[in-house]
Every structure is written in structure tokens, then in C-alpha cells.
Structure 1
Amino acid sequence: MAEPVADQNSALPESAPDKQDEGTETTNGNREAAKYRTKLREAEAKLEATEKRVHSLLRAQVESLAAKDLSVASDLFDIGGVSIDDLTDPEGNVMSDAVDAAVKALLAKRPGLRNGPSPWGDVGGNRRGSIPDSPPTMLEALKFTRR
């Protein structure tokens, strides 16, 4: 009897990739891409939070510079319509001369926003002297009425 001739295709090793292995590689690639997308979103969220923090710090610095002339420093932004970008240089530093110019321009249009003395002055609500150890006597009270 003659032996059957071995087929060349049957001589392939069994470790050749089949469709199941291709699906696993695709799944691993998707997992890795999803991991990088997650890291990207986390980095974007941190960047956004940092930008907000820097913006609020810059605003606080501008308001502290504007407070010497304005009674309410935030009026520079709210009423004056100025933005942080108008008052910072390209590197992001606050330019004090730009803040002064913006405050002067706002005060030229709205002089009532100026930081000035209170209209009533000191009406005695705040005791400026030291508090006496004992209350005044009736004789001391009557001395003030004779004037």
C-alpha cells in the first residue's frame, strides 16, 4: 500500500495567528488607546484648573493695584469692561502702568467710583480714644451740658 502524501498546508505550525488572535491584538490596542485618552482628559482637566487659578491670582493682583484709586476694585472689570488680557504683557505678567491707565480712563467716565473720604466723616461711632476704666460720674456729665 502506498502511503498518503503529506499536504504542504498541514505542515504549518499551529502557532500561526488566527482570527481570534487578531481580535485580541485589536482589543489590546483599543485598551491602550482608551488609557491614553483617559490620561489626556485628566491632563486637560488639570490644565484648565491651573488656568483658572492663575486667572484668579492675576485678577486679585490687578484689583489690589486698582484699589488705591477705586472704592470697589472689581469695578474696573465689571463697569470698565477691562479684561485680564488687556492688562498683562505677552508673558502673562501684570503691567502696573496699564492698570493705572485703565483706572484713570474709568474714573474719567465715572468719577463717582473714586476712592475718597466717606461723606459723613467721623460721627463718633468708632471710639478713637481709650475706653475709661470707670463710667463718668453725674458731675462730669453735667459739666458737658453747661457749654
Structure 2
Amino acid sequence: MTTAPETETEIAPETAPETEAPEGPGREAAKYRRQLRDAEASLASLSTRVETMQRREVERLAASELETPADLWLADTSLPDLLDDDGEIDEAKVTQAIEFVLADRPGWKRTTPPSFDGGARTSVPRGISMQELLQGRRRP
């Protein structure tokens, strides 16, 4: 039988390829460009979130008058039209927009649930209690 000669293989130490270039103005500018792109992406994400929250707040305000609050956006209403100079939601403008929409589309008004207890209230007549029966009292 022949045995394969065992050879010792030398494990090479891991060497990381040098990807970093020496410091220079181009490298620093690239770093700032990356930071700028990250900041712009973060800004876009946050502005989208703020706009979504503002839309939800407008819909919450519209829920008291409209059956489906999201219908407010179907009636050519835009979010910037409902904001004040500081970018906050102006409740007066929202109310005015709701009134305008309801004047044009009265079927979108929130319906009140039916009331099944309309009418005069009287107390239910009681029968004679056991105590009154034992005492011999009768009701008139």
C-alpha cells in the first residue's frame, strides 16, 4: 500500500486588501458627498412621514363631518391648502374645506345612527312586592 505523503501547507496570514486610498482632498469630498446623500435620504423619509401624519390629522378632523374622511382628498383638496404659514394644520381651513365638499356632495355627510328610543319616557308600573302583600297593603 502506498500512502500519500503528508504535506504541510502553510496557512497564509489573512491580509486585507488595501482599499483605502491615502487621505486627500478627493477622499474627503467623497466622504462629504456620502454624508450629503445620507442626509437627503433621511430628510426625504422624514418629510414623507410628516406628510402622512398631517394627512391623518386632517382625516381625523374630517371624521366628525364626513362618512369617509379620506373622501376629502377626492374633492381636489390638497394638503398645502390646509396648512398655515408655519406648516401646521389650520383647523379653520379644514372646516372650510369640509363645508365646501359637503355643499358640493351632500351624500358624503356623516349619517347619524338611528335612535330607537325616541318618545315619552314613563316608568314601568310595578306590581305588589312580597312585603306589601304580607302587610296587607294594596296599591291604589
Tell me the matched-pair count: 96
Q: CA deviation at 1:30?
A: 1.3
Percent of residue pairs identical: 38
Structure 1 gaps of 5+ residues are 1-23, 123-147
Within the alignment, does 1:71 sit opposite 2:35 as a pair?
no
Residue matched to 2:119: none
Separation of aligned partners in 2, 1:87 and 1:56: 14
Q: CA deviation at 1:117?
A: 3.4
Flag the structure with higher helix content: 1
Within the alignment, does 1:29 sit opposite 2:25 as a pair?
yes
Q: CA deviation at 1:84?
A: 1.1
Residue matched to 1:41: 37
String of CA shifts for 1:15-57, please: whole Å, max 9, x gaps.
xxxxxxxxx88x7221111110000000000111110111011
Structure 2 gaps of 5+ residues are 1-20, 116-140
Provide the TM-score with structure 2 as the length reference: 0.63
Within the alignment, does 1:60 sit opposite 2:56 as a pair?
yes
Separation of aligned partners in 2, 1:80 and 1:96: 18
Separation of aligned partners in 2, 1:58 and 1:90: 15
Separation of aligned partners in 1, 2:110 and 2:59: 13
Residue matched to 1:140: none
Q: Runs of at least 4 residues of structure 1 off by over 3 A?
A: none
Two-structure CA RMSD over aligned residues (Å): 2.0
